[in-house]
Structure 1
Amino acid sequence: MITPAFELTQDPDFLTIKIRVPYARASEFDIYFEGEDFKFYAKPYFLRLTLPGRIVEDGREKASYNTDEGTFTIQLPKEVPGQYFEGLDMLTSLLAPKKSRSAKPLVEELAASAELSEENEEEFDWEMEQIPYEENSPVLQHPYGFGNLRSGVFQRLQDELSDVIDIKDPDQTPAEERRRKRLAAEAAKFEPDHYLADFFEDEAIKHLLKYKPWWIDAHKKMTALQGESHQEHDSSAFVVFSEEEREQMRKFTNKSYLLDKRSRHHVYLGLIDILLAYCYEICVNEGDKNVESSWNIRKLSATLCWLESFSSIHDVLVSFGRRVLCYPLYRHFGLVTRALSDTVMILQLGKAAVLKCLLDIHKIFMESDPAYILNDLFITDYCIWIQKVKSKKLAALCESLQKATLSKCHMGLELEELEAAAELVQEEEQALKAAGTVSKQQLLCSQSEPSDSGASSSTSSSETEGSDSDEQEPSTSEDGEGNSFRGTLQEESTAPVVDCNGSRQGTGTSALEGGGAESEGALHSPAPPGKLLEELEMQIHSAMRLSEQPEGLATAGCVSQEQEESPVPEPDRFSEDAAGKGNFLEVSPKPNPLLFLCSTNEGED
C-alpha cells in the first residue's frame, strides 16, 4: 500500500482533509471515520490518521473528487463546534497508530512453564569444574545521541565520524571529560587578532545583521494578531510547510521515546543549542546554502560536535558564544546575540516553526557526505519528537530562554580587557599621528623661512666671491696654487666651521672669517640680535686667546676637525706654508678685534 500525500485544515465547525491520489479509481474508494480515527482506502492508496480531536457523522459530511488534480476533498463536522484541533501540520504524529491502553506489564515472561516442566528439567551437575573468580570490569560505553540513547556507534563507524565530530573515542570518554577537552580546545583556538579585526572593522557584520529570515515576518504577524484580539493564535497560521517538507515528514518512521526526567532535560537544552547554530548559519549566509553550511551548524553546536549534554540554559549560551568567537569566519559578539533573539522568536512561533527549522537542518546534513550520520544520531529523532511535544512545555522553555542573560564576561576569553587595550593603543596611535602631522607642518614652515634668507646670502656671497676672483686673477695667474686654494676657501665658506674648542658653528660665524659679504648675510639671519652679539663676542675672545698662544699652536688650533685627525705638520714647514700662502690664515702677533670688525665693515661698504 502507498501512503498518499495529504493536508488537513479546519474552521470552527469542520475539519477538511485533502488527499492526493493520482491514477486511482474514483469509483472504488472507502472512507471510515469515528471519534479520533479516520481511514481512507482507494487502491493502491491507504491512509490512517489519529486526529487530535473528535469528529462526528451527522449528515453534514461532504466528499468531492477533482479528476484533473486527482485529489479527494473530505469535509467532516466536529463533535464540539468551535473546538480548535492542535497539531494538524504534524504529519508524522497523525500517521501514528492509536496507543493501546492496558494495564498489562511492559515486560512479561512468556509461557516457559508450558514448555518446560519440573519433571523434564535436567538434574543440576554439582561436580562441574569451577574456575577461580577474577573481577573483569566490563568495557563501559558512555551514551550519546538524542536523549543519550545511543552508544557503540563510533566503534563501528570511526573512519566516517572522525571528520564530523571533534571528540576522539567518545564511547570511552565520559561527559565530564568531553566538556573539559572542549573548553581546552576552544581556549587554544581563540585568536585575539581575528576577534579584534571583526570588532573594529564591522561593516560586513552590520550588513549581515540587517538580514531578515522568514520567522521575523511570521513573528510580527502573530504579535499583531495577538495584540488585536488579545488571544493566542496557533503558529500553523503563520508557518507554511512546502511539499518537499511534507514529503520529508511522511518518510519518517513513527517512534515513541521513553525518556526519564534527566534525559528530557538534556533533549530540550540540546534543541536550543542546535537552533542557535542554525540561526547563525542563516544569518551569515543570508538564507542561502553553501558547502560550508553543514560545517557551520555542527561546528557551532557542542551537542553535535562534542556530543555535549548540558545541564542549564546558561551553559548552552556560553558554549555557543565561545564557539562563535573561535571557529567561523565572522567572529563577532553581535552575531551571538542575534542568534539568541532569533531562537526565541522560533520558539514563540511554536513547534511548527521548530519543526520547519529541523527539517531544513536534516536536508543540509543529508546533502553533506559525512554529516548525514548526525541525522541518525540527532536530527531525525528531533523531527519526530517535536511533533508530539506539548505546546506548554515549549512555551516554558522559551520563557526560560528569554530570562537568561549573556555578556562578554561570561565567555571566559577576556574580551573586555582585549577591547580596552586595543582602544587604548588606537588612541595612542591617533595622538602620535596627529603630533607627527603638526611637527611636520612646523618643520616645513621653519625650513621655508631660512631658505629665503639663505638664498639671499648665497647670492650676495657669490657676487662678492666673483669680485674677489676678478681682483685676484693677476696675482694668482702666476702661481697655479692660488686657483685651487680659492676653491678650498669657497668650500669652507659653505661648510660648518669648527671653532678652537672643537664645537661646530653655523654659517654666520664662518662668513665673518671668509669675507664682508658673508658677514652681511649672517647679520641678516633670523637669529635674535642679542644672540648674534653674544656669538660675536665669543668669536672675539677666542681670537684673542689664539693670538696669545704661540704661532704654531694658534694655527693648529684653528684647523678643521678633519685636519686635527691627521698628523700635525712640523712647525718649520707649517710656518713656511703659512708664510707662502698669506690668504690661508694671517694671524698677527697681537691682533686688535675692533680693528678686525671695522675693516670688515669697511670692505662691505
Structure 2
Amino acid sequence: MLTPRFSVDQDDEFIFITINLSAIRFSAKNVEMAVDGSLFIFSLPPYYLRLRFSHELSEDERATSKFVPNEECIKIRVPKMNRGEKFDDLDLVGKLLARVGEVGDGGRDGADARRRNGGGSLIEEVSATDEKTEGGNLSSADGIADGLPARSGSQPETPLHESPSSESWEIDQIPPPVPSSLSPLAPTYGFNNQYSNMLLPSLDNNNDINELTNPDDLRPDDRIVQRLIKENLKFDLEYYANEYLTAKYTPEDNRIREILNWVSPFKELFDGSRKGEKVDIQFNHVEQDHMTDLPRRSYIIDDSRPIYYTIICLLYAYSYEIRSNEGEGNVESGWTIGKLTPQISCLDSQLIQSNNETEKSMIRVIVITMERRSLAYPLIRNYDLVKKTWEDVYYVLRCGKRGVLKAILAAREYFRFHDVYYIYCKILLDDLCNWILRDDGCGDKVLRNLAHALRKEVEEVGKKDIVFEMILYGDDRAQGGRDAVAGEDVEEEMEFINLEDVEEMAEESYLMAQGREQQEN
C-alpha cells in the first residue's frame, strides 16, 4: 500500500482533506472511508491513508467526498465533533500519519546503568514497516516534550521547564566508560549514537566535509582531539586580521554592512506575534512533502540533551550561511553548514572530553566551539557576524518546535540530493527532523528555556574566550608571523592567542603601514 500526498485544512465546523490520487483509474466502489473518534481512515488500492487528529471527528450526514478529475484528487469534508474547536498542527503531515502505542523515550529505567557501562541505546523500536505505507510517530504519554530525562546519579533531575535554565545544561560528571560486553563493537555516531561503519563509502567519493582520519574507527574523545587540532590548524591569523581591518576601516570594500543589517524572517515572525501566543509558522506544500518522506521510527532516548545541543549547532551553521548570503543559499551552502556543524564534520556530539574538570556549562562549550569554527572555515570570518548569527538562532528557538523544524528542514535540503553529502541525512538529519516532529520529541518549553540560556552565555563569551593554539616564530610573534625565513633555524613554540590579541596586532600593523605611507607622501 502507498501513502498518498495529501493536505488538510479546517474551518469552525469541518476538516477538509484533499488526497492526491495520481495515475490510477478512480472507482467509487473501491473507496472506503471511516471515522473513529480522532482517527480518519481512507483506502483506495493501492493507496491507504490513516490520519490521527488532535480532537475528535463526527461521522454523520454532513460528511461529503468528491472526486475532481482535472486535479486528480478526492476532496473530503468531515465534521468536527465540537463546532469551533481548533485542530492543531494540520500542516505537520508527518505528525498526522501517526499510530497509537509507540514508545517515546523507551522508558528511563536502566538508562543510567547503560551509560555507566559505556553502552548506548541497546534497542530501537522501529515501526513494523519502515516504509511510507503507514505512519510511525505517535505521541507517548511519558515523552520528554516538557522536560529532559534524569541525569546519571541517585537524584532524578527536575524537568527542564520546572528548573532554572542555568542549572539545566550543566556538564554531566560521568566516569570514563568501562569496557563491557554491552559496549558496541564499533564506535557509534549520528542521531542518538545509533549508527556505525557508514562513512567509508562517502570518503571514497571525496567527502570534503569530513574532518576526521578514519572516522568509523574513532572513539568520541579521539574525535574531539582531532577536531580541536584541525580548528587550530585551519585558523588563519592573517585572514582574520584582514577581514577585521577591512570591516572597520573600509567596509565599502565588502558586503559586511549589508550582511549585518539583513533581518532574519524568524525575527520578523517572532516580533509580529502577540506576547504569550505561539508564533504562527506555516509550512508550504513542498515542506509538507519533505515531512511525509521522513522515516517513521520511534527512538529509545537515554538523554535528550545531546540532541538539543545538535539542534543549536545546526541552527547556528544554517543561520550563519543564510545570513552570509542575505537569505539565499548557493552551491557551497551544504559544505559550509556541514563544516561548521561539529556533529556532521567531526561526528562529535560529545563536544567536550569525558575527563573534563574545568567547564561547567555545555551551552558555553557550544558557543565557544561554534565561534571558533565560524572564524576558521567560512569565506566570511567576522566576529560581528558571529554575534549576529547567535541572535538569529535565538529567534528560531523562540519560534518553538515549528520554527526549529522549518529551519532544519531547509538545512537538510542542501544534503538530501547531494551525491556525497546525502550520508549525513541518513545518519543524522532525517532522524533529527522526525524526532522534532514527534509529540514526545522536541518540546516548546525546553526550546524557550534553551533560548534564554543560550542568549545569556553568548553575552558572557567575549573575544578573550575565543582562543587558538598556534605556532609563532621567535621574534616574529609580535607581528603574528607564521613563516620562517628561508635558511634560518627558528625556534617553534606553540602559543595560545585570542581574538583580542589578533586584533591588537592587526591594529599595530595597520597604523605602522599608515605611518609609512604618510612619510612617503
TM-score (norm 1): 0.60
1:201 paired residue number: 246
1:404-459 CA-to-partner distances (Å, cap 9, x unmatched) read 2232222114111221232234344445555665xxxxxxxxxxxxxxxxxxxxxx
Moved more, 387-396 or 19-28: 19-28
Which is richer in helix? 1
Matches of 1:402 and 1:149, distance apart in 2: 31
2:17 paired residue number: 17
Deviation at 1:265, TM superposition (A): 1.0
- Equivalent of residue 94 in structure 1, options 69, 74, 96: 96
CA 170–320 in structure 1, closer or farther in 2 if over 3 Å, else same: same
8 Å CA contact 2:295–2:431 kept in 1: the answer is: no
CA 196–89 in structure 1, closer or farther in 2 if over 3 Å, else same: same
1:511-537 CA-to-partner distances (Å, cap 9, x unmatched) read xxxxxxxxxxxxxxxxxxxxxxxxxxx
Residue correspondences, number: 397
The 5-angstrom pairing of residues 162-561 of structure 1 reads 163-202=208-247, 203=251, 204-221=255-272, 223=273, 226=274, 230-233=275-278, 235=279, 237-241=280-284, 243-261=285-303, 264-310=304-350, 312-388=362-438, 389=441, 390-405=443-458, 406-413=461-468, 414-431=498-515, 433-434=517-518
Deviation at 1:318, TM superposition (A): 1.2
Aligned with 1:316: secondary structure? Answer: helix
CA 161–435 in structure 1, closer or farther in 2 if over 3 Å, else same: closer
8 Å CA contact 2:199–2:215 kept in 1: the answer is: yes
1:271-290 CA-to-partner distances (Å, cap 9, x unmatched) read 11111111111122233333
CA 403–59 in structure 1, closer or farther in 2 if over 3 Å, else same: farther
Matches of 1:62 and 1:137, distance apart in 2: 56
Deviation at 1:91, TM superposition (A): 1.5
Deviation at 1:97, TM superposition (A): 2.4
CA 268–415 in structure 1, closer or farther in 2 if over 3 Å, else same: same
Deviation at 1:49, TM superposition (A): 1.2
Equivalent residue letter for 1:299: K
CA 172–44 in structure 1, closer or farther in 2 if over 3 Å, else same: closer
2:163 paired residue number: none
**Is 1:3 aligned with 2:3?**
yes
The 5-angstrom pairing of residues 559-574 of structure 1 reads none
CA 171–416 in structure 1, closer or farther in 2 if over 3 Å, else same: same
Aligned with 2:295: secondary structure? Answer: coil
Deviation at 1:100, TM superposition (A): 6.4
Matches of 1:423 and 1:158, distance apart in 2: 42
2:148 paired residue number: none
1:495 paired residue number: none
Deviation at 1:362, TM superposition (A): 2.5
CA 285–79 in structure 1, closer or farther in 2 if over 3 Å, else same: same
Deviation at 1:24, TM superposition (A): 5.0
Matches of 1:43 and 1:141, distance apart in 2: 43
**Is 1:27 aligned with 2:28?**
yes
Q: For structure 1, list consecutive stretches of 5 or more residues without a partner in the other structure.
A: 108-134, 438-605
Matches of 1:298 and 1:256, distance apart in 2: 26
Deviation at 1:386, TM superposition (A): 1.0
Matches of 2:81 and 2:444, distance apart in 1: 23
Matches of 2:57 and 2:267, distance apart in 1: 35
Matches of 1:245 and 1:276, distance apart in 2: 21
8 Å CA contact 2:33–2:41 kept in 1: the answer is: yes
Matches of 1:326 and 1:157, distance apart in 2: 24
Coordinate RMSD, CA, aligned: 3.1
Matches of 1:395 and 1:345, distance apart in 2: 10
Matches of 2:224 and 2:21, distance apart in 1: 51
TM-score (norm 2): 0.69
Aligned with 1:141: secondary structure? Answer: coil
CA 86–314 in structure 1, closer or farther in 2 if over 3 Å, else same: farther
Matches of 2:181 and 2:44, distance apart in 1: 60
1:249-305 CA-to-partner distances (Å, cap 9, x unmatched) read 2222311011112xx111110111111111111122233333311110111111100
CA 20–180 in structure 1, closer or farther in 2 if over 3 Å, else same: same
8 Å CA contact 1:24–1:42 kept in 2: the answer is: no
Aligned with 1:55: secondary structure? Answer: coil
Deviation at 1:94, TM superposition (A): 1.8
Percent of pairs with identical residues: 29
Equivalent residue letter for 2:53: L
8 Å CA contact 2:188–2:195 kept in 1: the answer is: yes
Q: For structure 2, list consecutive stretches of 5 or more residues without a partner in the other structure.
A: 107-121, 124-179, 352-361, 469-497
CA 395–232 in structure 1, closer or farther in 2 if over 3 Å, else same: same
Matches of 1:140 and 1:381, distance apart in 2: 22
2:483 paired residue number: none
1:50 paired residue number: 52
Matches of 2:516 and 2:419, distance apart in 1: 54
Q: Which has the higher contact order (CA 8 A, sep 6+)?
A: 2
Q: Which runs of 4+ in 1 moved over 6 A?
A: 135-139
CA 11–415 in structure 1, closer or farther in 2 if over 3 Å, else same: same
Structure index of larger Rg: 1
Matches of 1:137 and 1:396, distance apart in 2: 35
Matches of 1:269 and 1:142, distance apart in 2: 20
Aligned with 1:255: secondary structure? Answer: coil
Equivalent residue letter for 1:416: E
1:573-602 CA-to-partner distances (Å, cap 9, x unmatched) read xxxxxxxxxxxxxxxxxxxxxxxxxxxxxx
Equivalent residue letter for 2:332: E
Matches of 1:47 and 1:357, distance apart in 2: 27
Equivalent residue letter for 1:412: V
Matches of 2:264 and 2:420, distance apart in 1: 27
CA 3–310 in structure 1, closer or farther in 2 if over 3 Å, else same: same
8 Å CA contact 2:199–2:423 kept in 1: the answer is: no
